[in-house]
């Protein structure tokens, strides 16, 4: 893939006027306002629960919070945007009131939810569909002017794990990002983060193949987000459950950092920050 000469990798994000520095990897703390997420579904039933979790994640070192109200676990169906908004917006507004300096991302594939979330105080959108589920999402992001995470997924949540198949996995995922980033840039979107989508339309072996080739995605000169926290790619290898997968998560996060991850999307911020500190110290002594 051709790269412009003298082009430096993008190491900042503009979150509604707040400049986020990515010269060192960041932690994004997961906040699921859902009854059915694979690990923490049903835990945040009231706005106060969201406030307490946000406080803990920020205290443990998370620089970003990612709030979502629509589960994208394997087998999950689509949620009506109005139901998503009824779950999300009260919690989002409460967290914004209590932590006005926090950088909050909203995990949604609905453009209407994205617009309402940014209006309520969010300053980043994380879209597991990369605009595939809502054709109005890309134009909305261009108008909103916030950083946008595009994730690769083969299929959709209700069928993505039935029989994922690729001829050339890494090249196909890279081709997907090439197409999507070109369309976004044509619309004037420049703060783009790419997420290979571990566990989204990939077999166990394909997840590890993707991780082993993670540095390939540096060709895009864009921030790279990795979300492996407590996922089945850990539990299937270790014969554990999501509740027992913290150690495995830290191992995979460390591998991802060693291969160029810029943002770790995690349920456990303190352990992810420790992995980042160790990797940074190690890299400073190479």
- Name 161's Cβ contacts closer than 8 Å, sequence gap at least 6: 74, 75, 201
- Active-site residue (options: 3, 16, 231, 277): 231
Residue 204 tokens read as 């166990």
Which SS3 state, helix, strand or coil, does residue 124 take? strand
Which SS3 state, helix, strand or coil, does residue 209 take? helix
Query: CA-to-CA distance for 116 and 24, rounded, in angstroms?
Result: 31
Query: CA-to-CA distance for 105 and 190, rounded, in angstroms?
Result: 17
- Active-site residue (options: 73, 97, 265, 270): 265
With contact defined as beta carbons under 8 Å apart, do 242 and 230 qualify? yes
231 is catalytic: yes
Query: CA-to-CA distance for 286 and 283, rounded, in angstroms?
Result: 5
Closest CA to 199 of 39, 7, 6: 39
The β-bridge relationship of strands 26-32 and 64-68 is parallel
Which SS3 state, helix, strand or coil, does residue 183 take? helix
The β-bridge relationship of strands 192-195 and 103-107 is unpaired
Tokens 């290979």 locate to: 196
Give me the phi and psi of 254, to 5 degrees please: -65, -40
97 is catalytic: no
Could you list the active site residues?
Answer: 231, 265
């Amino acid at each position: 893939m051709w790269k412009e000469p003298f082009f430096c990798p993008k190491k900042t994000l503009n979150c509604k006027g707040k400049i986020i520095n990515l010269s060192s990897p960041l932690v994004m703390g997961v906040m699921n306002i859902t009854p059915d997420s694979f690990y923490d579904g049903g835990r945040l039933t009231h706005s106060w629960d969201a406030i307490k979790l946000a406080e803990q994640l920020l205290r443990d070192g998370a620089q970003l919070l990612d709030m979502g109200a629509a589960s994208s676990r394997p087998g999950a169906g689509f949620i009506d945007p109005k139901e998503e908004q009824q779950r999300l917006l009260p919690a989002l507004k409460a967290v914004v009131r209590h932590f006005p300096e926090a950088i909050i991302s909203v995990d949604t594939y609905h453009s209407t939810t994205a617009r309402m979330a940014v209006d309520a105080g969010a300053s980043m959108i994380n879209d597991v569909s990369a605009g595939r589920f809502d054709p109005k999402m890309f134009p909305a992001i261009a108008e909103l002017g916030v950083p946008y995470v595009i994730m690769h997924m083969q299929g959709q949540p209700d069928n993505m794990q039935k029989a994922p198949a690729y001829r050339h996995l890494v090249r196909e995922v890279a081709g997907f990002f090439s197409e999507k980033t070109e369309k976004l840039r044509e619309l004037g979107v420049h703060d783009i983060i790419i997420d290979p989508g571990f566990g989204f339309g990939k077999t166990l072996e394909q997840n590890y193949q993707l991780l082993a080739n993670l540095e390939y995605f540096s060709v895009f000169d864009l921030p790279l987000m990795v979300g492996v926290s407590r996922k089945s790619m850990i539990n299937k290898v270790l014969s554990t459950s999501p509740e027992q997968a913290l150690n495995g998560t830290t191992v995979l996060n460390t591998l991802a950092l060693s291969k160029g991850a810029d943002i770790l999307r995690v349920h456990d911020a303190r352990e992810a920050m420790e992995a980042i500190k160790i990797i940074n110290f190690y890299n400073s002594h190479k």
